[in-house]
Amino acid sequence: MYPKLQLAYLSTLFERNEGEEFIDFAIKLYAENEPQLLLPFLRKTAIYDIAKAIDICEKKQYINEMVYLLGRSGNRMKALDLLVNKLGRIDSAIDFCRENDDSDLWNSLVDAAVKRPDHIMELLNTAGKYVNPLNIIEKIPEQMNIPGLRNLLVTILRDYELLVQMQRGSLQVTEADSNHLFTKYLSNRKCSTFISFEQCCIVCRITVLLEREKSTDCRHANCDIIVYDCGHSAHIRCIYVPHSDGQTVMESRCPIYKEPKEEGNSSVDGDTFDSEKLKKENE
């Protein structure tokens, strides 16, 4: 009774985010009275019983709506079969496979498309970027006459040759950049590091180069010095730290470098200790 009035009332409810319990009933009303509005409604609304909606569309033979619902429910193979065999829309089937990006779907589409010459041409012309054209060509039945196939294959081969040339060019650019960066890295590694008499150890804060007359008053008088690539320097004995296994080893990274510790991990490792901790342990 008055289905269009009911639809208008339900639409008003849905716009106010109300009446969710009537969504399945609204789908039935759309299917029976406003079929052109059914698919937009299904796309816009997510809260409905997909099985009931599929049953309604199947009874009415609404193929496009069934394809959408089957895709949402995960039954993509059946949706693809409807597109190819019921609607005969190879272009829509290609778009469907592209959206889902499933290798099994592409294989099923190829198997279905090789039965018709026009579908083969459409698939080779459109889906060549997503499917290996050789897989399509190998499945073409013998003695099948396909108008325009030769010219299309020539175009595909030219496109492939262009792609190979682009990949080679990209590889050459990458190799040139890598060589340039590696040369720059080697050049930086050869640079000298200046150490002044005022430069201090980053752990104990005592100057790393001691004047001769003051050297006898410091425990670092005869201590070796390590200089990091970052420019910091430290006494060798200042950067020996205890590890969780009880051994004391020299830290290879600059103690200034510090990262947050993981929760529950209290051990000292190469990435989590700092200069203050080292200083306390060496006092």
Residue 199: CATH number of its domain: 3.30.40
Tell me if 51 is assigned to some domain: yes
Tell me if 75 is assigned to some domain: yes
Listed in sequence order, the DSSP H helices in the chain are: 3-15, 23-33, 38-44, 50-60, 63-73, 76-81, 90-100, 103-113, 117-126, 133-138, 149-189, 275-282
Tell me if 225 is assigned to some domain: yes
- For residue 48, give Cα distances in angstroms to 20, 42, 90, 260: 8, 9, 29, 48
Same domain, 112 and 20: yes
Helix axes 117-126, 90-100, angle to 10 degrees: 40
SS3 226: strand
Q: Name 108's bridge partners.
A: none
Two structure tokens written together for 248: 């004391």
Is 246's pLDDT higher than 70? Answer: no
Is 268's pLDDT higher than 60? Answer: no
* Whole-number Å distance between alpha carbons of 99 and 72: 12
* Whole-number Å distance between alpha carbons of 228 and 243: 21
Same domain, 120 and 15: yes
Confidence of residue 251 (pLDDT cuts 50, 70, 90): low
How many domains, in total, are found in the chain? Answer: 3
Same domain, 111 and 239: no
Is 165's pLDDT higher than 50? Answer: yes
Same domain, 138 and 177: no
Is 279's pLDDT higher than 60? Answer: no
Residue 259's pLDDT is 53
Residue 266's pLDDT is 41
Average pLDDT over residues 15-36: 84
Same domain, 72 and 170: no
Two structure tokens written together for 226: 């390590």
**Out of 54-68, 97-111, 119-133, 214-228, least confident range:** 214-228
- Nearest Cα to Cα of residue 257 among 236, 237, 234: 234
Residue type, 87: L
Q: Please answer whether residues 208 and 215 qualify as being in contact, where contact means their C-beta atoms are separated by less than 8 angstroms.
A: no
Average pLDDT over residues 123-147: 80
Average pLDDT, the chain: 79
pTM: 0.52
Tell me if 42 is assigned to some domain: yes
Same domain, 11 and 138: yes
Of residues 137 and 180, more confidence is placed in 180
Two structure tokens written together for 163: 């792609």
Is 278's pLDDT higher than 70? Answer: no
Residues of the domain holding 174: 148-191
Same domain, 49 and 118: yes
Is 208's pLDDT higher than 70? Answer: yes
